[in-house]
A and B are shown apart, each in its own frame.
Chain A
Amino acid sequence: MSNQSRQNLLYRIRIQKDLEKIVGPALDRLSNLDAVISMIANLNDRQQVFIYQWAGLIAESNTELAAHFVSFAPEAFDSMIDADVQKWIDLFLKNYDNHGLGKAITSLEDISGFTIAQKNKGVRCSLQQTSVFLQHFIRGLGGRELKISGNDETYTNTEGLFLPESISLFPQPKQNFTVYKLTAAHLWAQTWYGTWRIQVLEKLTAEYNDQKSLNIFNRLESIRLNYRIARDFPGLSREFSEFENRDPKVVALWKLWQDRANDLRSPTATAIDTIGNIRHFEDIDMPALQSYQGEIFLDRIRETMLSRIEQEQIAFQKSLDKLRDDNAPKDETDDDFVAKQMLEVSDGDSDDGEPSETNFQLTLDGQPIELSDDLKNLAGSIMQDFGEIPDQYMDPMEQGEYSDALLSQNGESEGDTDPDLNETGTFQYDEWDCTRQRFREDFCTLRELVVPPGDEGFISETLEKYRGALRVIKKCFEAVLGESRPQRRQPDGDDIDLDAIVNAHVDMALGKDMSDHLYTKYRNQERNVAVMFMVDMSGSTLGWVNNAERESLVLLCEALQLLGDRYAIYGFSGRTNKRCEVYSIKDFKENYSLEVRQRISGIRPKAYTRMGVAIRHLGQILQKTHARTKLLITLSDGRPEDYGGYKGQYGIEDTRHALLEMKQSGVHAFCITIDSEAQEYLPHMYGTANYAVIDEVEKLPLKVADIYRRLTT
């Protein structure tokens, strides 16, 4: 043995001994120990020290993992820069902490995977960075609201677009960003150009519900959609071609498919025509999907569509019933008469397959009717599913159907109590009976409950969604604090009031008395405000109203933190006078804590709207706080309504009476509502200047904070 190799041997033995000392017997179980030791021997000193140090640290958690680390460390140093080795260690240790040894070893051994991911890092574009943009972009394109979320599979279920969490297909982040945009646009095109008309869904389900047919359908439909997109969105279309697969084989295959399915490249071709083509393509090779194409999951689409169709039919019929009611001659109370009115729909010419909400026109006895935006959206969504408004949608609804549907959606049934609500007390209140013109004593039984915490993600989503708006709101609120409002015509003050002086001069010249109120004062009036927010949690808020209410509260709380006003938030609902309920979300003493946030998120629609008793109860809580200005603000979506005759004039009069009681005790009441008919009853209940009607639900979150600011400055 030469001196040199003897040296080497000793060196390797020393390394092995050192490592054994650090890692223990687990090291000897490595099958490739000799090879590993030789490789370590070839690393430089700094790298060796690094391995010793980390082997020791890892061994403190798990010696098995430490031994694995030792055996892979030389390869790691070989295939990446030293700084990345540290990141590789961090990753498998994180996996060890979160998922245990198995996962840790898998990620430790996947060095090539790690290096690729590392390389992609610079080029990657994540959904998190792009989702706000994508949401705006898709909304701008039009049609039914589509929610964007992350998923391992890329597809649409007609209500959401599911996109990968990150994309690193191309070397430039900007290119990957574009792939996001194109993918979202392409999925949007399915919902816009009628890929998911109900007829299509049914035909596919009945005749082609196998993976191969669906794959063919996906590619053929894509040919049709690309043609439509090219006509309407030339810019998008150019980008689609830029991002197409350049592999000559794939290019040739797509060309072949396009030529064979040339009938789909027409403005009048529909998805039914696409289905008709499936059979002709069963025996030829399929081209690979383009980077911007998603997959198709028929069952998910089916599930979403069927439940939407059912809900929308109910909602639509209900709206029409209301239209009929509202347009019925006032002196006719005969119910039969209402049904006799002729409601007709003309939904324009939608042969081109494009949902044409704008052409949608409703006529009542031949007279065109102005539609609310909600109803227009609803009609638009129905037309996206059917290409028209189906005849049965125009039929009047069976009485009571709506409330039953609501109940089943709430998972509530008559008579049972919610086990998830903590009761904190029971109270009795009088109710004003306008027919008898006196109180019904202790008529209402009210319980105070606490809203169960909901998903906290809602809060961060809302903050993200309204990031820009919130900044503006906060700026305005800060301005309130900093604002020094000049008070004119003061007997003394910081500055001379020129207008007043000129007037005084004039008076003097005319020989009148001269006023001595000639100064302007800039003084910040100190805020001393307590406000109670009373949130409608009735069943009719189900869906976006509820969402908008919750979002409003989030923005409001964020903004109120700045002002330091004292505030409380309660929800209210109930069913009959025996089961009136208020739900505490934040009381005056609480801070805007995590629990409060969770409760805001947990607000869910309940039953009916018995408003009077809620006002009396919450008003009392408000009265007990000390503040110069006391405000009771109601967020609501409709008129007071409950079982047992609490509707129409009776409900309105009781509510009005309760508000008068508040007024007498020095509480200012204000109502923010999204009920477009509020003009009819709110002025009577709250007084002409004390309410605001928000015509679009989406505006509510932005408006509420704004209104509050204006009310209190």
Chain B
Amino acid sequence: MSKTTIKNEQNFVKNKPYYESVGDEVAVFTAAYENQLPILLKGPTGCGKTRFIEYMAWHLKLPMVTVACHDDLTASDLIGRYLIKGGETVWIDGPLTSAVRHGYICYLDEIVEARKDTSVVIHPLCDGRRLLPIEKLGELLEAPGSFCLAISYNPGYQSVLKDLKQSTRQRFVALEFDYPDAATEEAIVIKESGVDEPTAHKLVKLGHMTRNLKGNGLEEGASTRLLVNAGKLIHSNVAPVHAVDTAISQALTDEPDMFQAVHELSRSIF
């Protein structure tokens, strides 16, 4: 009666994703994977966590199941549930169960957003046991060697109440991500958006300026993602200052004074 909601082919990362390595994260991830250790990716938004895991999936030649966690996501959403079909009850595997069955990578994005009970279901998966109990089926799934659990978590945002519990986080090998250094970030912006080097240089400089404002009117500075987005607009012939306004400043703030400050900062370098 078990059925999977996920088809194998769709989850293969076919083309090599562009990923600019910033340290030894590829080696560490690989080592953790070989030792069947779960991995926690920590870092601010838009710094390349998702891109990295895609790259690793390609690198390890494994299909990947991604779950974007939200505050209504329950354990059954991960594990699976009975549905009623034509008077019959049918069991449907959740994404986590399906990844465990087939030995895929399961990537739980922004795990802290999910309900508390979700972290409990991953506990037995993350220690030496590597088990996923499916209570409703009375089944105890054992993860095959190729299965890999990765979760992401942005320490900047979450609240005390939603903070990852020690008992959860201490099961993971943690890889810390931050915005790459200026030279690497420039390379990323060039490669991802197609702008020339001087423009990328300026975009990265602007990124640093907005990061100076973090905690002082801005919750976060501009992420690599925003810099890439602005670069794409510029590459499509949008005037740089306008591109920055729309792709970066508007995304960062609704405050008129702050918007103007970012606007003037970009005008000062372009």
- Residues on A lying within 8 angstroms of B by beta carbon are 132-133, 136-137, 139-142, 181, 185, 232-236, 358, 467-469, 502-503, 505-506, 509-510, 670, 683, 688-689, 691-692, 696, 698-699, 702, 706-707, 710-711
Known contacts A132-B257, A133-B260, A141-B265: A506-B89 contact under CB 8 Å: yes
What 19 additional pairs, Cβ within 8 angstroms, besides A136-B261, A503-B82?
A136-B258, A137-B264, A140-B210, A140-B261, A141-B209, A141-B212, A141-B268, A181-B264, A234-B270, A502-B82, A502-B83, A506-B82, A506-B136, A688-B166, A691-B160, A698-B215, A702-B215, A710-B160, A711-B161
Question: B265 contacts A707, CB within 8 Å?
Answer: no
Chain B, range 218-262, C-beta contacts under 8 Å to A: 253-255, 257-258, 260-262
Cα A303 to Cα B258 in complex, Å, equals: 32
Question: A706 contacts B268, CB within 8 Å?
Answer: no
Question: A235 contacts B216, CB within 8 Å?
Answer: no
Question: A235 contacts B208, CB within 8 Å?
Answer: no
Question: B159 contacts A140, CB within 8 Å?
Answer: no
Q: Is B14 an interface residue (CB 8 A)?
A: no
Q: Is B165 an interface residue (CB 8 A)?
A: yes
A484 CB → nearest B CB, Å? 15
Q: Is B13 an interface residue (CB 8 A)?
A: no
Cα A466 to Cα B95 in complex, Å, equals: 43
Choice from B81, B181, B209 contacting A140 with Cβ under 8 Å: B209
Choice from A468, A683, A689 contacting B160 with Cβ under 8 Å: A689
Cα A137 to Cα B84 in complex, Å, equals: 59
Question: B261 contacts A137, CB within 8 Å?
Answer: yes
* 29 sampled A-B residue pairs with Cβ under 8 A: A133-B257, A133-B260, A137-B261, A137-B265, A140-B212, A140-B262, A140-B265, A141-B212, A142-B209, A232-B269, A233-B268, A235-B266, A235-B268, A235-B270, A467-B255, A468-B254, A502-B84, A505-B84, A505-B89, A506-B82, A506-B84, A509-B89, A689-B160, A689-B163, A692-B160, A698-B216, A707-B159, A710-B159, A710-B160
Cα A467 to Cα B160 in complex, Å, equals: 24
* Chain B 74-118 near chain A by CB (<8 Å), digits 1 or 0: 000000011110001100000000000000000000000000000
Question: A136 contacts B161, CB within 8 Å?
Answer: no
Q: Select from chain A the residue with minimum beta-carbon distance to B176.
A: A370
Known contacts A137-B261, A698-B215, A711-B160: A235-B84 contact under CB 8 Å: no
The residues of B that contact A140 with a CB separation of less than 8 Å are 209-210, 212-213, 261-262, 265
Question: A707 contacts B258, CB within 8 Å?
Answer: no
B254 CB → nearest A CB, Å? 7
Question: B267 contacts A235, CB within 8 Å?
Answer: yes
Question: A233 contacts B210, CB within 8 Å?
Answer: no
Which 5 residue pairs across A and B have the least CB separation, nearest first? A136-B261, A468-B255, A698-B215, A140-B209, A236-B268
Question: B212 contacts A142, CB within 8 Å?
Answer: yes
- Residues on B lying within 8 angstroms of A by beta carbon are 81-84, 88-89, 136, 159-163, 165-166, 181-182, 208-210, 212-213, 215-217, 253-255, 257-258, 260-262, 264-270
Question: A233 contacts B161, CB within 8 Å?
Answer: no
Cα A505 to Cα B266 in complex, Å, equals: 60
Cα A133 to Cα B264 in complex, Å, equals: 10
Question: A468 contacts B261, CB within 8 Å?
Answer: no
Cα A510 to Cα B261 in complex, Å, equals: 64
Cα A47 to Cα B159 in complex, Å, equals: 68
Q: Select from chain B the residue with minimum beta-carbon distance to A236.
A: B268
A236 CB → nearest B CB, Å? 4
Question: B215 contacts A699, CB within 8 Å?
Answer: yes
Q: DSSP class of A's interface residues: helix, strand, loop or mixed?
A: helix
Among B82, B213, B268, which residue has the most Cβ atoms of chain A within 10 A?
A: B268
Cα A698 to Cα B215 in complex, Å, equals: 6
The residues of B that contact A235 with a CB separation of less than 8 Å are 266-270
The residues of A that contact B208 with a CB separation of less than 8 Å are 142
The residues of A that contact B182 with a CB separation of less than 8 Å are 358
The residues of A that contact B254 with a CB separation of less than 8 Å are 468
Cα A214 to Cα B141 in complex, Å, equals: 80
Cα A140 to Cα B261 in complex, Å, equals: 8
The residues of A that contact B270 with a CB separation of less than 8 Å are 234-235
The residues of A that contact B159 with a CB separation of less than 8 Å are 706-707, 710
Q: Select from chain A the residue with minimum beta-carbon distance to B160.
A: A692
A681 CB → nearest B CB, Å? 15
A384 CB → nearest B CB, Å? 14
Cα A402 to Cα B217 in complex, Å, equals: 32
A121 CB → nearest B CB, Å? 23
Q: Select from chain B the residue with minimum beta-carbon distance to A141.
A: B209
The residues of B that contact A689 with a CB separation of less than 8 Å are 160-161, 163, 165
Cα A358 to Cα B208 in complex, Å, equals: 11
Q: Select from chain B the residue with minimum beta-carbon distance to A690.
A: B160
The residues of A that contact B160 with a CB separation of less than 8 Å are 670, 689, 691-692, 707, 710-711
The residues of A that contact B81 with a CB separation of less than 8 Å are 502
Known contacts A140-B262, A181-B264, A185-B268: A710-B257 contact under CB 8 Å: no
The residues of A that contact B262 with a CB separation of less than 8 Å are 136, 140
B258 CB → nearest A CB, Å? 6
Cα A140 to Cα B260 in complex, Å, equals: 12
The residues of B that contact A234 with a CB separation of less than 8 Å are 269-270
Among A132, A136, A506, A670, which residue has the most Cβ atoms of chain B within 10 A?
A: A136
Cα A132 to Cα B259 in complex, Å, equals: 11
Question: B265 contacts A468, CB within 8 Å?
Answer: no
The residues of B that contact A691 with a CB separation of less than 8 Å are 160
Question: A139 contacts B89, CB within 8 Å?
Answer: no
B218 CB → nearest A CB, Å? 8
The residues of A that contact B163 with a CB separation of less than 8 Å are 689, 692
B53 CB → nearest A CB, Å? 24
Among A140, A503, A506, which residue has the most Cβ atoms of chain B within 10 A?
A: A140
The residues of B that contact A141 with a CB separation of less than 8 Å are 209, 212, 265, 268
B116 CB → nearest A CB, Å? 11
The residues of A that contact B209 with a CB separation of less than 8 Å are 140-142
A620 CB → nearest B CB, Å? 26
Cα A137 to Cα B83 in complex, Å, equals: 56
The residues of A that contact B217 with a CB separation of less than 8 Å are 136, 468-469
Among B82, B89, B217, which residue has the most Cβ atoms of chain A within 10 A?
A: B217
A185 CB → nearest B CB, Å? 7
The residues of A that contact B264 with a CB separation of less than 8 Å are 133, 137, 181
The residues of A that contact B265 with a CB separation of less than 8 Å are 137, 140-141
The residues of A that contact B260 with a CB separation of less than 8 Å are 133, 136
B87 CB → nearest A CB, Å? 9
Cα A137 to Cα B260 in complex, Å, equals: 8
Cα A137 to Cα B217 in complex, Å, equals: 11
The residues of B that contact A692 with a CB separation of less than 8 Å are 160, 163
Cα A710 to Cα B265 in complex, Å, equals: 35
The residues of B that contact A706 with a CB separation of less than 8 Å are 159
B159 CB → nearest A CB, Å? 4
B112 CB → nearest A CB, Å? 12
Question: B258 contacts A468, CB within 8 Å?
Answer: yes
B82 CB → nearest A CB, Å? 5
Q: Select from chain B the residue with minimum beta-carbon distance to A683.
A: B166
Choice from B165, B215, B267 contacting A688 with Cβ under 8 Å: B165
Question: B216 contacts A139, CB within 8 Å?
Answer: yes
The residues of A that contact B165 with a CB separation of less than 8 Å are 688-689
Q: Select from chain B the residue with minimum beta-carbon distance to A136.
A: B261
Question: B261 contacts A710, CB within 8 Å?
Answer: no
The residues of A that contact B253 with a CB separation of less than 8 Å are 468
Known contacts A468-B217, A710-B160, A711-B161: A139-B257 contact under CB 8 Å: no
Known contacts A133-B261, A235-B270, A707-B159: A139-B212 contact under CB 8 Å: yes
B264 CB → nearest A CB, Å? 6
Known contacts A502-B84, A505-B89, A707-B160: A136-B257 contact under CB 8 Å: yes
A141 CB → nearest B CB, Å? 7
The residues of A that contact B215 with a CB separation of less than 8 Å are 696, 698-699, 702
The residues of B that contact A232 with a CB separation of less than 8 Å are 269
Cα A235 to Cα B160 in complex, Å, equals: 43
Among B162, B181, B210, B212, which residue has the most Cβ atoms of chain A within 10 A?
A: B212
The residues of B that contact A502 with a CB separation of less than 8 Å are 81-84
